[in-house]
Structure 1
């Protein structure tokens, strides 16, 4: 499956995908496992590519799409994460 994931990412250079999109497009719509399997495969691909080429695998998931950010870090719409303390 790592090869299929690498092939898919290489055929879409510069694009960022959510876990769900990668699961659907690479694993197929009938995949019933957890979404974190994408994390495992991405981690393995980056390890095999080595540090100098690991950046060829684009970010993915919530961080890549801007839907999550560290506590206190402004989100794209200017709101902060729940639980962050105002200064």
Structure 2
């Protein structure tokens, strides 16, 4: 997603379920739901991203982080793709 202009998350302390919506992200061209990859609880939000969402585009693996979460079901981690596997799937 390019040119992110708005980000919305569940509040700190809120629970979320794997596969369900836990936030929303908007760019100048589209809006997308953020789907929870795991079940858990929001423990911290990146307030800098909420105030300046363009940080997601500038530095998505650094300053553009979205939220810290407490994982409720560690067994769900087995269902996630590794970074390399995910990148490879994008090429296919």
Same fold, TM exceeding 0.5?
A: no
From the CA coordinates, give the structure whose radius of gyration is larger: 1
* TM-score, length basis structure 1: 0.28
Normalized against structure 2, the TM-score is what? 0.27
Higher-strand-fraction structure: 2
Which one has a larger percent helix, Structure 1 or Structure 2? 1
